[in-house]
Amino acid sequence: MVVGTKVYDKLREEWLRTRLVNDIGMMSPHAQTSKVESFHNILLHFCPKLLVYSYQGMKCRLYLAVLHWNENCDRAQAVDAEGSPVYRLKYPHSKEGGHTVERVLTAGTCGYVKALMRVVVELVENREQLRDNMEELQPQPARSASHHHPDNGEAVQAFEQHHRFGDRN
């Protein structure tokens, strides 16, 4: 391709459009991100943003989301009675009457719940107190606790010192 030709100028104009440049910057450099987005949906199911949980509660909910994800992330495609794969048609608004074909996956499972319940029953029967013994369930100190917080007088004095030449009436 020769610089300065009509074809070159058109192609250059298309490649340098702001929208395309921004979209390329948002692409994942390594792989598709749909699995990450799917895990994020599972995480939001177990700990919605609208509710507030303690540190221990949030950590436990995160563990539950991970257990659920690990058990259900690689589900196979469902098959019908004849053994052929099952598909579903979707009609999104963005297609304006058009359709998309989607694979139907096998139903999700919750086998991890039985294993967790066995462990809980065992712990209750042995009367073990785990909360105080598990370091990862102990909340970390707030990051702001380690910073120096000046009193009001110090802060005002530093502000006035910094801005003493700023007000020229």
Contact 100, 92 (CB under 8 A): yes
The answer to pTM > 0.85 is: no
Whether 96 maps to a domain, the answer reads yes
Overall domain count for the chain: 1
DSSP single-letter state for residue 89: E
Q: Do you know the residue count of the chain?
A: 169
pLDDT score at 99: 92
Q: Give a yes or no: residue 160 inside a domain.
A: no
Least confident of 30-39, 80-89, 128-137: 128-137
129 vs 50, more confident: 50
Q: Determine the structural domain holding residue 89 and report its residue range.
A: 76-107
Angle between helices 55-72 and 111-125 (to 10 degrees): 140
Assigned domain for 102 exists: yes
Q: Which of 106, 98, 103, 101 is nearest to 89 (CA)?
A: 101
**Residue 91 maps to a domain:** yes
97: in domain: yes
